[in-house]
Amino acid sequence: MNDRAVVNLTEFLSLLRESKDIPRSIGIQLGLHDENIDLYSIEQLTEALIGNNNDENYPSDIEVYFRDHRLSDQEMAWIAGMLKTGIKPKKLYLSFDRENCNDASVAVIADALTESKSLGDHTLVLSMSHGDISNQGAVALANALKKNCPYDSVELFLNNNDIEDDGAIALAKLLKGGKCRYLNLRDNRKISDLGAIAFGEAFETGGNNLKGVCVDLRNIPYINSEGIEKIMRGLSSGTCAAGVCIRLNFSVDEIEQCAKMQIIARALNSGQCPPGLCLDFSFGGIKDEAIKILADAMQQGHFPPGLQLNLSHNVIGDDGAKALAAALPACPPGFYIDLSFNNKMRLTEPSIGVGQQAILDVLKSGRCPYGFNICLLTEEVCNPELYAQVNDLLKKNEERWTALSCVAFFSQKSLRAGQLPTDIICSILPFFLGSSLDDAKTAETITSNIMTAANPKGWQPGSRFYQRREEIKARQEDKENEAANTDEKNPLGPPQRKKSS
């Protein structure tokens, strides 16, 4: 059985009617480049998603993409009926092209959700980004989900629209209900401190309903120090749920960067932030002076356990890296920090950067706490001296590094070329498995190379490393079996096309 397939509507309906071995996850592409959408097509899709199909064979995840076609009012009504009547897949992903991302479309979906029956343990992922949704649409959607949310969890991708403070405030209040697990408002550039303050209040008063919630507020220029302070006050209130993730950007102005980092560092050092807090400051233009403020606060030893700190794709240099290196022994248990793709901290030939050497020296000292994990990815070529030091470090501390989830120092170009030291145990990061690479196939190839080269003792059953390796093994076996079956059916190989005379 395949893990996932991307099909058009005709193939999807055929799978449901005829096949007993359908993929667990299906992506349905509905667009003019795949199939001429008309009302009959939408009607067929709706009936298939809510029809009387065999539950055992029905896919658990279905993704429907409406692309390159402006949906009519009648077509939107059929889609709304899909939500209103109830769907079988455990996870339904509805993605609308920008032509259909407007207040009118949101209103139709909001009305359908209000009238929907409860589905229990189901998830709705609604992607309506890069459109013209304003406060009106955002408030309507938030109110509908507050009044009646038929799904156990909802994920909303509303980035790159025209939502302002009123819409952000309504969506922040929605978080308190515990059903909205992911909210992406990135690049809604009219949101200001007023909207940010509402999220701070939600973090402070939402309690365990916000456990594991992720909010993306990146690329919003009018969230200033006042908004950041309220967000961090909510996170450090002592009542914020564990595992909350907030994504923010910093101003390129160094003085403002330092002012915001002072607020963040003070909150982290309060001792009141929840365990497993995730702060994503990637792509923020953060410089060394702001990093020094963070490092100074870290040395006081009050950061929350399991803190995840994403500082990738910034402009951190040697001074910032040295400051962080000095603070690493005081970091909390389970601390994870991502310093990858910082242009000022590249690997150089033939020597190692001063900041990277400082981090290496701290790792060699064995003073980092249990569960410590760091990533330093670069785009430069493999550095033999750095690899030699890391290899030596891992050999001398094999048991310790295995317990610590290990440390990965490698270069993207070297990974693509398959140039990996044979005894490095690498930590596999979620973004590294796809989002930061050209495509999923490249990510899978690189991951496979890492697993082949890694020390087998580092892959303990039950760990995410071990599970990922087993997934790739199973996928490779499926491909080999499929190829073998094809060879049996066609012993002479595929038919050759005759050359035209």
At 407-432, the pLDDT tens digits run 344 444 444 444 433 333 333 333 23
Burial of 209 (0-12, 13-18, 19+ CB in 10 A): middle
| Residue 197: how many other CB atoms lie within 10 Å | 22
Query: What is the three-class DSSP state of 81?
Result: helix
8 A C-beta contact, residue 102 and residue 137: yes
**Among 157, 141, 143, which residue's Cα sits nearest to residue 95?**
157
pLDDT band at 361, cuts 50/70/90? Answer: confident
Model pLDDT, residue 489: 54
Q: Report yes or no: 414 and 386 within 8 Å, Cβ to Cβ.
A: no
Q: What is the mean pLDDT of residues 163-186?
A: 96
CATH annotation of 253-435:
3.80.10.10
Instruction: Categorize the per-residue pLDDT at 362 as very low, low, confident or very high, splitting at 50, 70 and 90.
Output: confident
Q: What is the pLDDT of residue 90?
A: 78
Quote the CA–CA distance of 43 and 412 in Å, as a whole number: 46
Given CA atoms 457, 463, 466, 468 in this order, what sign does their dihedral have?
negative
- Give, as one character, the DSSP assignment of residue 307: -
Cis peptide upstream of residue 350 (ω within 30 degrees of 0): yes
Given a cut of 70, whether residue 350 has pLDDT beyond it is: no
Whether the Cβ atoms of residue 374 and residue 397 lie closer than 8 Å to each other? no
Q: Give the residue among 46, 115, 57, 126 at the shortest CA–CA distance from 87.
A: 46
**Three-state secondary-structure class, residue 255:** helix
In the chain, domain spans: 253-435
- pLDDT in the model for residue 242: 92
Residue (of 338, 342, 360) closest to 351 by Cα position: 360
Q: How many CB atoms lie within 10 A of CB 386?
A: 22
Is 29 in a helix, a strand, or coil? Answer: strand
Give the three-state DSSP class for 6. strand
